[in-house]
Amino acid sequence: MSRAATTSDAFNAIAEPRRREILSYLALQERPVGDIAASLGIRQPSVSKHLRVLHDVGLVRVRRDGRRMLYRTDAETIRPLHEWTGQFERFWRHQLDRIKERAEAKSAAQPSRTESQPKEEP
Amino acid sequence: MSRAATTSDAFNAIAEPRRREILSYLALQERPVGDIAASLGIRQPSVSKHLRVLHDVGLVRVRRDGRRMLYRTDAETIRPLHEWTGQFERFWRHQLDRIKERAEAKSAAQPSRTESQPKEEP
DNA sequence: TTGACATATTCCCATATCGGCATCTATAGT
DNA sequence: ACTATAGATGCCGATATGGGAATATGTCAA
């Protein structure tokens, strides 16, 4: 077997940095392909290919306007990704708590004990 | 150019379904490689390779325990992904609102109009 | 119809994936 | 030192990527 197709799901589709840029750009407002290419500095064929992938997994919708194609982000498809990553929220909360606790315990004890190379902002 | 490396960032690393499973599994508790392989039904070398990718991008941490390696998820690294997807939350909220509005407007008018094939659970 | 403009598609290529299998390394116990 | 166990790594093959360049499709306007 090989790597999963970019069109296999939204996770694979958003792995590409350019596609993430496109999604952000198209979230606010629908745009024709040419605008995307010009604004993000990507060549038109590349934009079309990325849009094809995004469309295949339902991350964007299209509408024809004369000879132009207007694309916009379909946020609903991003939701499952947000929920998947959200499952870890309680854990990074805990980790932060522990870091805080350590920092407080340390500064409350002896201010000059340096284990490795501490970085401090003045 | 080719596809971005799986180790280029967390987005690419979590594109693999197996790696997502591993992350979920290791979020609750640290585990040795053998446990992961057995619990998720993946061969040991594959698990090691996936863990290498996850470790390279900081999604897991390791600790040695005798001849075993105990891995656990570092949730903090998932946070940026959650925040990136979160940027679209306001948009899917709006989309849902519009869907609701339409549904309410429709049911308030004529209750028997069926556009396509509605599915109902008994 | 012809021409101009907006997008989509095709072909090529260098690169990297992931799984299977075999093998190497490292640690523990005797 | 020797053996067993836990993990890591290396090599292979089939597959697919994404950019570039050229070309095809489709739509409007005269």
pTM check: above 0.85: no
Residue pLDDT, tens place only, B104-117: 665 555 444 333 33
Smallest CA–CA distance, residue A122 to chain B, in Å, is 25
Please give the residue of chain A at the shortest CA–CA distance from B72: A91
Residue that the structure tokens 């656990």 belong to: B72
Contact predicate A26/A40, CB 8 Å: no
Tokens for A89, please give them: 């929220």
Beta strand B60-65 pairing with A68-73:
unpaired
Residue nearest to nucleotide D27 (CA to C1'): A67
CA to C1' distance (Å), from B115 to C10: 40
- Give the phi and the psi of residue B64 in degrees, each rounded to 5: -90, 140
pLDDT at A92: 92
pLDDT at A56: 96
Which of B78, B91, B96 shows the shortest C-beta gap to A85? Answer: B78
Nucleotide closest to residue B3 (CA–C1'): D17
Residue ranges of chain B whose pLDDT lies below 70: 96-122
Please give the residue of chain B at the shortest CA–CA distance from A97: B76
pLDDT at B90: 95
Beta strand B68-73 pairing with A68-73:
unpaired
Contact at CB, B75 and A95, closer than 8 angstroms: yes
Contact at CB, A88 and B20, closer than 8 angstroms: no
Residue pLDDT, tens place only, B1-12: 778 899 999 999
Say how far apart CA A73 and CA A89 lie, in whole Å. Answer: 25
Say how far apart CA B5 and CA B17 lie, in whole Å. Answer: 16
Give mean pLDDT in consecutive 10-residue pieces for chain A, a chain of 122 residues: 88 97 97 97 97 97 96 97 97 76 58 37 32
Cβ-based contacts under 8 A for chains A and B? 83
**DSSP per residue over A92-111, as a string?**
HHHHHHHHHHHHHHHHHS-T
Strand C surroundings (CB within 7 A): A 1-4, 32-35, 44-45, 47-49, 51-52, 62, 67-69; B 2-3, 5-7, 15-16, 18, 43, 45-46, 49-50, 53, 64, 66-67
